[in-house]
């Protein structure tokens, strides 16, 4: 009897102490975002949650498909379209490289989605605020691209690592294609995913294709110059 009383007393003392220590009298952080129940990002969010450490072709394909769906819905919103373009670029890179992808890529894909969700669902967010968030993610993306290029350059030059060429001179990465990299001006222009090609007038499509070809030739020349430089330095 006394033993039971002692046990109860002990338990109640522990409970009181925990109650005192962890009473939830402070305000919970409020989430100003609207719910996702009937929101077009619902599917994309589900895919984002299912992308795990084991990134598979199937989950990445689902991501790319969901991006297309959301893109269709937000066809008029250039800021959201640029966010989606960022997601697509990183998604393709991760899909192509999986475990070999730069570790920062998985973090960035989550960060871009978080910002996208905030921009899409926060009521009353001003355009400058949205643009600021987008710029931040674009800047992170560019940094990632530089790191990927640098890493690739380092791999190609294991012996003379102390003369690592600056990113601008590094060979163009094959892991992130140049035409996939959004630049800030594209936030103010119509994005150029392949699906929209058919919507262009013939002269627009021709001009677009010409720009693409120029970009490819420039990239090839840059890569060639970097290769020649590396070859000369190794002599």
Partner 1 sequence: MAIINLKKKEVQAKIVYYGPGRGGKTTNLDYIYKKFRSRIQTEMVTIKTHGDRTLFFDFLPIEIGRIKGYDIRIQLYTVPGQVKYESTRRLVLRGVDGIVFVADSLSVRRKENVLSLKSLAGNLASYKKSISEIPLVFQYNKRDLLNEGIPLLPVEWLEKDLNSKLKAPSFEASALKGPNVVETMKKIIIMTIESLRKDLT
| Contact between 85 and 191 (Cβ < 8 Å) | yes
Is there binding between residue 14 and partner 1 (CB under 8 A)? yes
Is there binding between residue 8 and partner 1 (CB under 8 A)? no
**DSSP letter for each residue of 160-200:** TGGGPPPGGGSPPPSSS-GGG---GGGGGS----GGGGGGS
Min separation Cβ 116 and partner 1, Å: 15
Joined tokens for residue 143: 């940094």
Is there binding between residue 13 and partner 1 (CB under 8 A)? yes
Of 140, 152, 74, nearest to 107 (Cα)?
140
Tell me how far the alpha carbon of residue 209 is from its chain's centroid.
Answer: 26
Is there binding between residue 128 and partner 1 (CB under 8 A)? no
| Contact between 227 and 172 (Cβ < 8 Å) | no
Measured from the CB atom, is 97 or 106 closer to partner 1?
106
- Which residue from 4, 26, 198, 201 is in contact with partner 1, where contact means CB under 8 A? 26
Which position has the token pair 């691209």?
Answer: 145
Min separation Cβ 61 and partner 1, Å: 15
What is the binding site for partner 1 (CB under 8 A)?
Answer: 6-7, 10-11, 13-15, 17-19, 21-22, 24, 26, 28, 31, 35-38, 42, 45-46, 49-50, 52-53, 103-104, 106-107, 110
């Amino acid at each position: 009897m006394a033993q039971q009383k002692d046990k109860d007393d002990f338990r109640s003392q522990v409970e009181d102490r925990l109650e005192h220590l962890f009473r939830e009298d402070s305000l919970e952080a409020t989430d100003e975002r609207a719910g996702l129940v009937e929101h077009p990002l619902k599917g994309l969010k589900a895919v984002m949650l299912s992308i795990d450490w084991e990134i598979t072709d199937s989950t990445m394909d689902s991501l790319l498909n969901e991006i297309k769906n959301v893109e269709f819905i937000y066809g008029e919103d250039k800021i959201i379209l640029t966010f989606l373009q960022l997601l697509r670029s990183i998604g393709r890179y991760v899909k192509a490289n999986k475990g070999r992808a730069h570790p920062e890529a998985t973090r960035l894909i989550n960060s871009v989605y978080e910002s996208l969700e905030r921009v899409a669902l926060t009521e009353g967010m001003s355009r400058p605020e949205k643009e600021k968030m987008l710029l931040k993610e674009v800047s992170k993306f560019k940094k990632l691209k530089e790191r990927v290029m640098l890493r690739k350059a380092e791999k190609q030059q294991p012996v003379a690592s102390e003369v690592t060429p600056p990113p601008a001179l590094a060979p163009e990465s094959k892991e992130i294609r140049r035409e996939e990299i959004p630049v800030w001006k594209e936030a103010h222009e119509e994005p150029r995913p392949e699906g929209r090609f058919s919507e262009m007038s013939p002269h627009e499509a021709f001009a677009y294709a010409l720009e693409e070809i120029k970009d490819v030739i420039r990239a090839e020349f840059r890569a060639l110059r970097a290769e020649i430089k590396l070859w000369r330095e190794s002599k």
